[in-house]
Structure 1
Amino acid sequence: MSTPSHWFETGGDKSSGNWEVTSGPGSFGRLWHVFMTARVAIAAVLVVLQAFIYVLGNITNHWSIATCIAYLCATLAVRLWSRPRPPGSTFDAQWVLTIGVDVIAFSALNFLQSSGINYTPLFALPVLLSSILGPILLAFGTASSVTLLLLADAWWNSLQGVGDANARFLQAGLSSSGFFLVALLANHLALRLAREEQLAKRSQSAARMQTQVNELVIEALADGVLVVDVNGIVRSANPASRRLLAAGDAARSAPFILATEAAWQPLAELTHRTFAAQSPQEADVSLDNAGGNTRRLHVRTRLAASPNGTHESLCVMFLEDLREMEARVRTEKMAAMGRMSAAVAHEIRNPLAAISQANALLEEDLQDAGHRQLTAMVRQNAQRLARIVDEVLNISRAQAQLPSPQTTTLPLDDTVQKITSDWTGQTAAVARTRITATSDNAVVVFEPEHLRRLMINLLDNALRYASDSAGAIEVATQNVAPGQARLSVWSDGQPLEQTVQTHLFEPFFSSESRSSGLGLYICRELCERYGAMIGYQRVQREGTEGNEFFVMFRPSAQSPNTPSSSFATMPL
């Protein structure tokens, strides 16, 4: 069973007092220590007062001195060794050690009354203590007990015939009325302060939670966010902004000065214009980092100004990679073009078939070698157009990709060596290319012409970034598991930026302005059509790091020891 945590808390009905107990030195703890210190101070004053009266020789009852000393010891003990704990619903031990001791001590002093001193005003301390730290019921109970004690004292003095009895009863009644009024007002003010404190705590908790939510959102944003003050010092920077501003492998953590890097000068100037104009700014800037690495950004600034001028203004800067923006636009265009190209391809197919048929009929009647050569050119180009139409329909997924009854397979090593040899002969890259075929001529599920197109795209991409040294490009095949083969195209080019890696296989995304950005996208589409997987990683070959594009083929039923799963697990 849990102990009551509030004053006047009974059973399941929690009639809480003014202040809730919280961990640490809360409001209740602070008020409790203030009242305990006040009790010690009053007890010390009473002891000094009794000692002064004793020195003057006006003391008539030595029990007054003993009562004050005992009261001082009791208050010191509570102040030093007791801990703030709200009393329960009845006059429990906590009440006896605090309010009860005060009432008894002041009643004893008032009953003894040495040298004619009136101790009635001291009863205000226990009444205030119960009113502020407890509920109204305990406050009225304390005031009632004080009232009964004052009336009992007046009745006892009337029996002894000391002084005017009517005056004593009148004074007791007026004092008791004042104590009840003090209890009511003090409790009402304490309740109001307690409500305000709870409201402030809830508001503070909500503000902290909102701050955490804002920080999480900003941390997860794909756009960079910088918070810059009027002196050009970056107060805060999210991970995306640090990635966009990073020169090479170095990334700055806030705070840092924006003008320290020469490449960041356009951002510093835009911040200065924002503070000078006191209005948002927007511009496209280029960050020319060391090593010729240029990054183009679209920058928007917003001014966070204090409404009353009590705080400094801050510039919030939003950074967005222009290449990613253009890639998104190109992707949207790609979706529209895909739908249009599928429709156009369907419309081209019928007249193309008519052209092919007419050319075949014409070729039968021609005898001249020059004319037959012309019809052969028409036939070859018509076939080429037919293949292009089929590929457009396949890539745009306008055709339903139904599984073929007899899936096309091919020997991997022989096919890869033939395609690579043809490519090196056309590109004059024989000296720079080496072939490592170690898959034991594994049989994979793939169309030969589509594998040729896949490899040509990967080889052209490797040749574009490879060096002129011998062995700068390597084409390798291997078995990574029984029945599962792997093809890789490696080149000793520079590492790809993180942004490029993120959008590597997206359509129309390229690190070169003259590239269409469709090569790797088509490779991915072809691999997905045959159940293969394509990926990229940075690996080391013979002491040289390079870029590797790899293809994991779907296991073929013709391969021996074919596993039941589609892919075997292989660490990249």
Structure 2
Amino acid sequence: MPARSIIPDTRPPFSPAPEDRPFLRLWHGFLTGRVMVALALLLLQAIGQVFSQHVDPWMLAVPLVYLVATLLLRVLARHTPPAPQAGPQWLPSIGVDLLAVGLLQWLHTGGMDFTALLGLPILMAAVLGTLMLAWGTTAAATLLLLGWAWWLGEQSGSDPAPRYLQAALTGTGYFIVAFLVHQLSTRLVRESQVAQHNRRAAQMQRQVSTLVIENLNDGVLVVDEDNIVRMANPAALRLLNHAPALLPPFSLLQEAAWQPLCMLAQRTFGQGLAQTADATLLSPGHSPVGLHVRCWLTPLHSASQDWEEERLCVMFLHDLRELEARLRTEKLAAMGRMSAAVAHEIRNPLAAIVQANALLDEELHDPVQKRLAQMVQQNAERLARIAEDVLDIARVQSQIAYAPPATLALDDVVAQIWRDWQGHDPARRVAVVALQADNAPVEFDAEHLRRVLVNLLDNALRYMSLAPDALQLLTRSNTAGQVSLQVWSDGVRLDQSVERHLFEPFFSSESRSSGLGLYICRELCERHGASISYQRLQRPTARGMIEGNAFTVNFRKAARKERAISLLFDNSPVV
């Protein structure tokens, strides 16, 4: 089994894969060790030549050549280690080591023995190569030992048996060492790979957890026993009215408004139990923020550790306004289901009232009575529209069908809707109207567009200021042919809890509102292949650039031949 796995990689040699970095460090260590051994051999031979009367230039030349070879390999191959399989790629390292030790042992005539240096190439092969390479290197070293024993026997003429036995024992020891070192190296490689796999898994889990926490609508604070916030997601910073530039860690003690959170965290640490409480944060210059806070302590993994594990308090912050809005939405949704049944039942009586009133109006001649009949007709029609709105909501998911699209000239229709809407209160309903779509044709029903636009204008009128340019009605067509309609007003910024649920049914920031208007607008737009969105935009006014609320309808191009998705209304006409 190789000491490392060879995986084809296109990375440059100066940036090894993470799984190859331990191998590369070992490779550098062996290259450096070879250089140190070469230096030591050259130094010893030089000293020996100085104090010896017999000078052998070959004994200096071999260590010198070996030093040059090791230095060249250290410089040239430091980023390109050889593959672990046996092959010619190991000749510049293991081959040169065996050759240098063999030459030194053969050329030396004194009592010094260089065979111990054979352990270096054997260790290199066992640690960095395969088992086959390790045994091959050990076999080559053993043959050198046996060859040296034969050479000594030939030179001295004595019995070579003890030398053969010594060479065999040394070679056997080398084989055992090579096998054990290779097994140990392989085990370490496996453990390193498992550790790297676990580290990657932990990093991935941490990234996923961070991503989830960062995108939670609820606030998350991680607080230690010194009231230092170690981590806080964006939702928590918004609820704390925290300066965006100041990121964790920061202390909860630096703001008096955060005192309730400090007390709750300390109570959690003191009792060692989860805590739940409601708190109100009163920050200067900001509206009060009501929070529902839940606290948990991080568990202790082991009580027998030598070091004391730090406990942290994890606080989940829920905006009470949003919780109340959700509760109100659920209540209104239940009421809406009941209202759908009621609305279906009252349409027939309303139709009878309208018909009877029309017949009665033909017989009336007194202006006062005619005016009363007209009031009855207007309010009956208003009730019919409300009933239709409620029924629209009930049909959204279960009664969708296809209807042929209608094409209209946008600027002309918007201008007519604006004049009709403004005529109900000319003094109050003042706006800057800029119709710049060049009367582009769009696929939309005229009456449905009236309902969408009137709803958006009514909402803007409710929250805008009294400035003459506080309301702006715009149409435009860009170079790509995208046609849009926008209603902009200088109202105050919407709360985050309101903005997230703008187009949901039965959701409203006002207790007296049913929350159906914007939802119906969205459904009508989707019916005709259009889209509606909310943005906080700046618009030029006589007071300068003013930031306000903008609702934009992007229409589908009339040239497209797709059929628009439609809500399946009853056979009665939409009012």
User: Cα 1:182–1:208, aligned 2, differ >3 Å: closer, same or farther?
Assistant: same
Written as runs of structure 1 = structure 2, the 5 A alignment for 1:514-529 is 515-518=513-516, 520-521=518-519
Task: Show CA shifts across 1:498-527 (max 9, x none).
Answer: 443333343443344555544544665677
- Equivalent of 1:147 in 105, 130, 142: 142
Task: Show CA shifts across 1:64-104 (max 9, x none).
Answer: 44434443444344334542522575552542x32222222
Task: Show CA shifts across 1:510-566 (max 9, x none).
Answer: 3445555445446656777898876655434322636456686989xxxxxx96579
| CA-CA distance at 1:59 after TM superposition | 5.5
Residue 85 in structure 1 maps to residue 81 in structure 2: yes
Paired residue for 2:182? Answer: 187
| CA-CA distance at 1:418 after TM superposition | 5.4
Residue 39 in structure 1 maps to residue 34 in structure 2: yes
| Structure 1 unaligned blocks of 5 or more | 14-20, 365-369, 425-429, 556-561, 568-572
Letter in 2 for 1:346: H
- Equivalent of 1:510 in 508, 511, 518: 508
- Equivalent of 2:268 in 264, 271, 274: 274
Residue 543 in structure 1 maps to residue 537 in structure 2: no
Q: Distance in 1 between matches of 2:458 and 2:494?
A: 16
Q: Distance in 1 between matches of 2:355 and 2:470?
A: 44
Residue 300 in structure 1 maps to residue 294 in structure 2: yes
Letter in 1 for 2:88: D
Written as runs of structure 1 = structure 2, the 5 A alignment for 1:91-110 is 92=88, 94-95=90-91, 97-110=92-105
Written as runs of structure 1 = structure 2, the 5 A alignment for 1:28-427 is 28-54=23-49, 57=52, 63-83=58-78, 85-86=81-82, 89-90=85-86, 92=88, 94-95=90-91, 97-246=92-241, 250=244, 252-308=246-302, 310-349=308-347, 388-397=386-395, 416-417=418-419, 419-423=421-425
Conserved in 2, the CA contact under 8 Å of 1:466 and 1:472? no
Q: Give the SS at the match of 2:301.
A: coil
Q: Distance in 2 between matches of 1:34 and 1:106?
A: 20
Q: Distance in 2 between matches of 1:353 and 1:29?
A: 88
Letter in 1 for 2:468: G
Return 105-114 or 53-62, whichever deviates more: 53-62
Q: Distance in 2 between matches of 1:536 and 1:141?
A: 75
Q: Distance in 2 between matches of 1:148 and 1:402?
A: 89
User: Cα 1:421–1:547, aligned 2, differ >3 Å: closer, same or farther?
Assistant: farther
Using the size of structure 2 for normalisation, the TM-score is 0.73
Q: Distance in 2 between matches of 1:153 and 1:147?
A: 10
User: Cα 1:492–1:566, aligned 2, differ >3 Å: closer, same or farther?
Assistant: farther
Q: Give the SS at the match of 1:434.
A: coil
Task: Show CA shifts across 1:237-272 (max 9, x none).
Answer: 33333333346x856433333333333333333333
Conserved in 2, the CA contact under 8 Å of 1:532 and 1:554? yes
User: Cα 1:343–1:104, aligned 2, differ >3 Å: closer, same or farther?
Assistant: same
Paired residue for 1:570? Answer: none
Q: Distance in 1 between matches of 2:555 and 2:93?
A: 83
| CA-CA distance at 1:217 after TM superposition | 2.5
Conserved in 1, the CA contact under 8 Å of 2:469 and 2:541? no
Q: Distance in 1 between matches of 2:352 and 2:43?
A: 123
Letter in 1 for 2:341: A
| CA-CA distance at 1:192 after TM superposition | 1.4
User: Cα 1:65–1:420, aligned 2, differ >3 Å: closer, same or farther?
Assistant: closer
Task: Show CA shifts across 1:419-453 (max 9, x none).
Answer: 444446xxxxx3x543567779x9995559x9589
Task: Show CA shifts across 1:36-63 (max 9, x none).
Answer: 3333333344344445544554868664
User: Quick check: which has more Rg, 1 or 2?
Assistant: 1
Conserved in 1, the CA contact under 8 Å of 2:131 and 2:179? yes
Using the size of structure 1 for normalisation, the TM-score is 0.73
Paired residues, number: 536
Q: Distance in 1 between matches of 2:531 and 2:219?
A: 32
| Structure 2 unaligned blocks of 5 or more | 9-15, 363-367, 563-575
Q: Distance in 1 between matches of 2:504 and 2:357?
A: 39
Q: Distance in 1 between matches of 2:473 and 2:4?
A: 80
User: Cα 1:497–1:411, aligned 2, differ >3 Å: closer, same or farther?
Assistant: same
Return 148-157 or 495-504, whichever deviates more: 495-504
Q: Distance in 2 between matches of 1:521 and 1:302?
A: 38
Conserved in 1, the CA contact under 8 Å of 2:3 and 2:189? no
Q: Distance in 1 between matches of 2:525 and 2:5?
A: 74
| CA-CA distance at 1:199 after TM superposition | 1.9
User: Cα 1:180–1:343, aligned 2, differ >3 Å: closer, same or farther?
Assistant: same
Conserved in 2, the CA contact under 8 Å of 1:8 and 1:90? no
Q: Give the SS at the match of 1:396.
A: helix
| CA-CA distance at 1:381 after TM superposition | 7.4
Q: Give the SS at the match of 1:116.
A: coil
Q: Distance in 1 between matches of 2:57 and 2:488?
A: 105
Conserved in 2, the CA contact under 8 Å of 1:489 and 1:549? yes
User: Cα 1:48–1:470, aligned 2, differ >3 Å: closer, same or farther?
Assistant: closer
| CA-CA distance at 1:154 after TM superposition | 2.0
| CA-CA distance at 1:126 after TM superposition | 2.0
Return 282-291 or 355-364, whichever deviates more: 355-364
User: Cα 1:463–1:411, aligned 2, differ >3 Å: closer, same or farther?
Assistant: closer
Q: Distance in 2 between matches of 1:413 and 1:372?
A: 31
Paired residue for 2:567? Answer: none
Q: Give the SS at the match of 1:263.
A: helix
If asked which structure has higher relative contact order (CA below 8 Å, sep 6+), I would say 2
- Equivalent of 2:468 in 468, 471, 483: 471
RMSD: 5.1
User: Cα 1:57–1:227, aligned 2, differ >3 Å: closer, same or farther?
Assistant: same
Q: Give the SS at the match of 1:114.
A: coil
